[in-house]
Chain A
Amino acid sequence: MIPPEFDYVAPESLDDALRALDEGGEDAKLLAGGHSLLPLMKLRLAAPSLLVDLRRVPGLRGIQRENGTWRIGAMTRHADLQTRDELGLLAEAAGLIADQQVRNRGTIGGSLAHGDPASDLPGVLLAAEGSVTVRGPGGVREIAAGDLFQDYLTTSIGPDEVLTEVRIPAFDGWAHGYEKFSRRAEDWAMVGVSALVRAAADGTCEDVRIGLTNMASTPLRATAAEEALRGQPLDAEHIARAAGLAGEGTDPPGDLNATPEYKRHLARVLSRRALQRAAGAAS
């Protein structure tokens, strides 16, 4: 498991990082924790000529709240997220990423920019309707979660851009549930479901968001299920009926572990469980 030869730099500023990325050309890649990229390189499935490590760039780490939104530095590690209960769904999902060693090194920005549909955080960002801030030679821009994930391991972040910050609404007054199903405790999700539920005073569902992990080449929203639950009582029967629609319109790829049919079944089962947990916490 030896990667091909590559160069490595660890610039001390964002400007230097952008410059290095630019000079490195199309085979340069950013390193932001490395727990997805380095295994791909060791398997020789990725062969960047230059790694630009962001670990020394100041100002890319930290969690702060501003106007009802969490602003999270791109190099904030999963381990820093998992212990912050106030982050709700994000904290719960971060705590289920791989194992503690990976969570101690992997970062939120690295995970989102990698765009692996089996990773936990893309589905969370999509359900939460968050966004990412990127900086490139043309300046700063913000990309909404719905526009970020383009295809398998492909995002709309340009090759000359750096993801600097993640923004996630605080979801005050909402409850959440995250259900991840994997072959072993520390594996990638075979299917994962993020659920956010806001209960009205009368106990009905005022609003709901459901994000699906690994049901396509990008994370998905289970919109049919969301619509079916909105305005309905948050009881077992209505939740089950809505969750039954979670696989609607999906066409997940099969693999060694799961057929498409089984994955759609899992999406329904896990959606029911995630919604039930969220509804239980909301009432």
Chain B
Amino acid sequence: MMDSAATNGTSNAPIALETNGVTKIYGSGDNQVVAVNQVSIRVLAGEFVALVGPSGSGKTTLLAVLAGLLRPTSGSVWIDGQELSRMSDGQRTRFRREKIGFTFQANNLVPYLTALENVELMVRLTGACKSECRERSVELLTRLGLGDRLHYLPRQLSGGQQQRVAIARALIHSPAVVLADEPTASLDSERAFQVVETFANLIHLERRAGIMVTHDMRLCRFVDRIVRMRDGQVAHIITDRAEIDALAKGE
């Protein structure tokens, strides 16, 4: 297993996510494609990890397996002490809404819900959104600089603002793991830095495990660890702060 010591004071933190020899094969026979091959990683609570690699390296498939959207062909995924790969479809759906936070590249928000309602949605899925949930939603959105946009619909928000709402939604229900699939793909550089920096700060502050798939190495300056994938395998794990910063600067 490839393991690492976190560099942001999380070494004593509990393990939030762990995979053991996860393999995902698409198709069968001659059409077989090994998208993810024997991946074993471990992410601690409060740790922010970047999953990088060229297109087709298996990043998104691995993210789908970690989220319980795909069953691994072999291997196991543990989140918050529960083995995801053994759950039924219904159990995994319930697990996702309780233990996992998500942000996507696009179509992140429900278009007919306001920013505040989009954030509250995650809490409503597991019960009623009472005053505490409303206060926390407002607080999160305000912290993300959207205090004056609470009742705006997604179409009235800029791309960066929409991503920040998605981040608030991913964190509102205190998930064990937050997964982000290229959350800045549709943003300009300045907005992308703002969004990922805010995301990283919240991950650390709220002590959640965060995994972000990205193509943009410059964004790695905000992460604690880089997992580089190639041909479905973990090719390299970078934990050294200086090395991470150097990579982020393109050196």
A and B: bona fide binding partners? no
